[in-house]
Structure 1
Amino acid sequence: MNMHVSIAGLELKNPVMTASGTFGFGLEFAPYGDLEALGGFVAKGISLKPREGNPMPRIAETPCGMLNAIGIQNPGVEAFVTQALPALKSKDVAVVANLYACDAAEFGELAGVLAGEEGVAALEVNVSCPNVKEGGVAFGQDPAQIARVTEAVRKKAGGKHVMVKLSPNVTDITVCARAAVDGGADSLSLINTLSGMAVDVRTGKPRIANVIAGLSGPAIKPVALRCVHQVVRAVDVPVIGIGGIASAEDALEFILVGAHAVQVGTANFLRPDFAFGLAGEMEKLLSEVGAESLEAFRGSLQLPL
């Protein structure tokens, strides 16, 4: 079965990608499988300057998931371009750079740095980060700011595909989706983590030094599916589904509700080899359920009359 996916000009040999922050810069996972078995992967969040991230502890396991507050620790865009990217250019896999910044102009500047890099197939815009110049409210919770950030990236991205990653921590995610599309997004990826926290009754302290963290893993899949279902019906650009994918059945649930592709996140921590075999497992399951093709299966959810 042909598993190739075209996402508004972003060509993937199959619909399996790995999520930002869960797969390093790709090469760290090379001992566990062939990077070329993936449709693509999203590099860990990149900022203009290096970031140390949040204090420890910043990861905690939860029932059916995990909390993290890494704080976008990364070596900066220059290190990514000069150290990580050259080693990836020989790989037949789409490399997506995830952008982190604290205001729209900085997002645009970061996009401009990456616009001319041949080894970067697309830019994923992380609008879940706070706008430090407007009181710290997350871009992703304000449709007007989502549009401004997307526009800033679009203007500097050259011919790069622009993907906007949406936060579920909003009242109506479809409003945010429309704002990103209005700003020039070629596709949308969703969802990012849900806000959560964990405490320790024995120490009387939070389990995460940052107190509030992002919840991911199988626990959030129902929320992610609902968001993808709503957004697919609200906008005309392709959607990439993210949230709790730990099996071929999980992945195909997102395709069934209309996603063009999926990103695997938390499962990479549990099984570093998981993503490499997922496309093959999806193809096998598609045959078992009698699907004629991946394209025919996409969005074929039968809703009640």
Structure 2
Amino acid sequence: MFYWMPSKANIATATASNTLYKPAKRPVGLFFGGTSGIGQAMAEQFARQTNGRAQIVLLGRNEQAARAIIDGFPKTDSSTPEEDSSKYSFIKVDATSMAQVREVTAKLLNELEKVNYIVATAGFVTLKGRDETSEGIDKKLACHFYARFRFIYDLMPLVDKAANDGEETGVISVLAAGTGQQVELDDLGLVKRYNLGKAAGHAATYNDAMIINLALTHPKTRFYHAFPGLVDTPIMKSFPSINFLYPVLKFLTKPLLIFYGGGCGRRKLRGQPVITRSIIEGKKSHIIDTRRKKP
């Protein structure tokens, strides 16, 4: 099912549903790309929504940022039983490296008993052409699809464990729902015919296909692919040569529905409820595009 931007009534309904979110057991949320932008905002909202009664794992490259984020999370008091107390951690991983992603998923499979929510927002912005990793994968495709697929697919046994125990579960990939292109079956990795437009379009299509397939094979869990549109996040720092233009660009694009990371993260948790009871009440697979209102 494809959703456009939610109405005020939809947001109000989701917000009300969020207030009812009181899981019987401490939920576990993994935020792949949770040290900045939308991923950070969603992790912070999850921590607030559970009043710190959650296990949250932030995954990304910036440990200093992760520690600062974790320090700001609400925490349960000393009287809280250990199984219900706040448990926050960070795992360093480069999302362009499949070897590192496999190492991380193996570690999590060994250490965790379950996973309730996976949020994949890891991003890679570049104006360069094809830039291969040592594994022969373009870095943009690696980060925007291959790493997300590897991370989610490897950890689905833990999500299934929670779902089969009657707990709420959900998976979301935040990228570019609805903007995909027809894939080139003879060049899935875009080795022969690469450009930035194709890389973006193929990654979007691959994410659509991933979410739909996972929804069909794991019917107890909700799966979402979302496109937030233009969002004001620190990703602009990837372009230091034009960073001085950022205030101007922000001013010019504000009327075109630019969100800041925190607001967008809350929309994902409210307008498009992900880590709430509302995700369980919808259908199994959702393609979400919050760029504009439905015509």
The structure where strand makes up a greater share of residues is: 1
Which one scores higher on RCO, CA 8 angstroms, separation ≥ 6? 2
Same topology, TM > 0.5 = no
TM-score (structure 2 length as normaliser) = 0.37
